[in-house]
Structure 1
């Protein structure tokens, strides 16, 4: 896992690359239905007000960082990405709008400071890496048309994508060398976290099962259901007669798990539909169920393993704890690094 990429997500202009990796702004914001209900009563007045507000000059300088200008266009684009990431929809209250503005400006300042510091370090084949990154972004779209459409929705050009790729690589290199490489987590720290958060490591009972599904469409006739059930019962007879369960599943099952011999892996309560869950958790490893009916059709279930409820041992989860704590430390390290850069920088806000 790339710690820098995970933790640098809060550096706003680089987040534009996330959107370009396959999720358009509109799609990102669409799920925010709960916010829609809250905001709808204020929607009409807000839109009326917008008509009376003159648009701000996109080229206007909002802030200068060591002489480098950050424009209104950059801030507005950053705000759009921020709102998308946080599932926020327009219109927002003046108070929220102000907070989004401040967050966008703050993150763009941080980005620019890190980029300026990172440019002092040599990166081998940087231009080649930039073109590879841009090509990877384009490849995630079904067509050039969709790619350009997403760029337009974010008020970006292809040149902007190259710029963001350059910034991303330069900042990534800086943080890897100056923060990540110097960050460690001791066994004692990991063990303390485990002991202090022992409730987080409790695991409910889980089972591992395979199944053969004879699918029944929701609008199937009574005759179709009868035929499907008869087929399931015939297959059950084969399995109980000694036929290899996995091979029969590969041949007969209508579930996407068929190529894996019907293997569903481990699952806990609440993850499967009730009739399936009830049958699976009532079985012992090695047992095969009778035909079980659900809304998907008729199932034959084979339980292959069962894990009782337990507390996960420290040794089993140690690596994940270390990774989590390192992420926290790196984030703190990035914040401290940026604060130190700010102390030595000349940051001029436009009046």
Structure 2
């Protein structure tokens, strides 16, 4: 379980790897930390300068964890990563910039607290683990030049990346040995999550794949125009039933843009098409062709090319994923509890 990228150190460790290995909970909507929502909020053009990196020397101390300083260079680097992941639509206001700074300093100090705690936990073959992780990171790039380019984009060099990787491994080791063993997920919790999210995550509604031929008619068309359109679609239906190629007839006659693809509409579920069309499509068997169907758009002939019945994944099939997700949620909660405890023992100072 690569917990680190789900925890507070995400913004600082192995920065280039964040973009390459984003991890998201298996059953949750993708969300952003509340503090980072400012990054997507609109701002007035007059505030353009507020989006620029914080001024001052890279060696300025912006926070302290015990006697360990957090430098402005680390804050600026973390901000660059955050802005790359969540590009703001407009420049940040001064207030939004302060929110981002506060959020990042909280992440950086929390990461340092976990790292200091992790130094007290035994870890084997640390250098080998670092070498392996560095090699894996490099292997994800097409060439050494691409790897170097990615480092420069994050204001990193290989030495600094190695140090971040070292910290990442130490924190992961701490979490795995000190926190994960305390977390248990019961069968009742798994069943409860399954039942409460059955429709949202574990059920797949019925879907069909269909093609159609449309002879479009304006809803305001007169009776004569409608009659001619109906006669045309009736004649096309005769050709379909006589064995002529449906796709070719669609290309030659259909007034729907799908005619370019032989009338192919792709896959759709209930509620995505107008009711008469939907009812006719779902009533067909794979390979069948409908009679003429009238809708507000005109007259259709529908051919069903595939049909998938509604499905529900059984609990036993999804149990491992649910277990992993719930365990991850509990681990995150435990980490936050430990951070509160650590902050009670080690002085944390915010200096900007």
Using structure 1 for the length normalisation, give the TM-score. Answer: 0.64
**Other-structure match for 2:129:** 129
Q: In structure 2, what is the Cα distance between the partners aligned to 1:48 and 1:66?
A: 33
Q: Which of these two proteins has the greater Rg computed from alpha carbons?
A: 2
**Other-structure match for 2:333:** 332
The answer as to 2:313 corresponding to 1:344 is no
Could you say if the C-alpha distance between residues 48 and 91 of structure 1 is closer, same or farther in structure 2, counting changes exceeding 3 Å? Answer: closer
Could you say if the C-alpha distance between residues 311 and 288 of structure 1 is closer, same or farther in structure 2, counting changes exceeding 3 Å? Answer: closer
Could you say if the C-alpha distance between residues 315 and 120 of structure 1 is closer, same or farther in structure 2, counting changes exceeding 3 Å? Answer: same
**Other-structure match for 1:101:** 101
Could you say if the C-alpha distance between residues 350 and 48 of structure 1 is closer, same or farther in structure 2, counting changes exceeding 3 Å? Answer: closer
1:56, distance to aligned residue in structure 2 (A) = 0.6
1:346, distance to aligned residue in structure 2 (A) = 2.2
1:200-279 aligned within 5 A: 200=200, 203-206=203-206, 269=269
Check conservation: 2:151, 2:158, Cα contact below 8 A. yes
**Other-structure match for 1:297:** none
Q: Deviations over 1:140-172 (max 9, x none)?
A: 222222222222222211111101110111111
**Other-structure match for 1:119:** 119
1:20, distance to aligned residue in structure 2 (A) = 6.2
The answer as to 2:186 corresponding to 1:186 is yes
Check conservation: 1:123, 1:170, Cα contact below 8 A. yes
Secondary structure at the residue paired with 2:124?
coil
1:85, distance to aligned residue in structure 2 (A) = 2.6
Could you say if the C-alpha distance between residues 204 and 324 of structure 1 is closer, same or farther in structure 2, counting changes exceeding 3 Å? Answer: same
Could you say if the C-alpha distance between residues 201 and 132 of structure 1 is closer, same or farther in structure 2, counting changes exceeding 3 Å? Answer: closer
The answer as to 2:6 corresponding to 1:4 is no
**Other-structure match for 2:13:** 14
Could you say if the C-alpha distance between residues 169 and 36 of structure 1 is closer, same or farther in structure 2, counting changes exceeding 3 Å? Answer: closer
**Other-structure match for 1:60:** 60
Secondary structure at the residue paired with 1:57?
coil
1:58, distance to aligned residue in structure 2 (A) = 0.6
Q: In structure 2, what is the Cα distance between the partners aligned to 1:97 and 1:193?
A: 38
Secondary structure at the residue paired with 2:12?
helix
Q: Please give the root-mean-square deviation of Cα atoms over the aligned residues, in Å.
A: 4.2
Q: Deviations over 1:291-348 (max 9, x none)?
A: xxxxxxxxx9864x7323x665544443333332212111101111111111111223
Q: In structure 2, what is the Cα distance between the partners aligned to 1:138 and 1:17?
A: 10
Could you say if the C-alpha distance between residues 283 and 134 of structure 1 is closer, same or farther in structure 2, counting changes exceeding 3 Å? Answer: farther
Could you say if the C-alpha distance between residues 137 and 3 of structure 1 is closer, same or farther in structure 2, counting changes exceeding 3 Å? Answer: closer
Check conservation: 2:14, 2:161, Cα contact below 8 A. no
Could you say if the C-alpha distance between residues 282 and 311 of structure 1 is closer, same or farther in structure 2, counting changes exceeding 3 Å? Answer: same
Q: In structure 1, what is the Cα distance between the partners aligned to 2:161 and 2:331?
A: 26
**Other-structure match for 1:225:** none
Could you say if the C-alpha distance between residues 344 and 11 of structure 1 is closer, same or farther in structure 2, counting changes exceeding 3 Å? Answer: farther
Q: In structure 2, what is the Cα distance between the partners aligned to 1:81 and 1:176?
A: 26
**Other-structure match for 2:309:** 307
**Other-structure match for 2:297:** none
Check conservation: 2:62, 2:69, Cα contact below 8 A. yes
Secondary structure at the residue paired with 1:63?
strand
Q: In structure 1, what is the Cα distance between the partners aligned to 2:202 and 2:168?
A: 39
Q: In structure 1, what is the Cα distance between the partners aligned to 2:102 and 2:347?
A: 18
Using structure 2 for the length normalisation, give the TM-score. Answer: 0.64
Q: Unaligned stretches of 5+ in structure 1? A: 24-34, 210-231, 235-263, 291-299
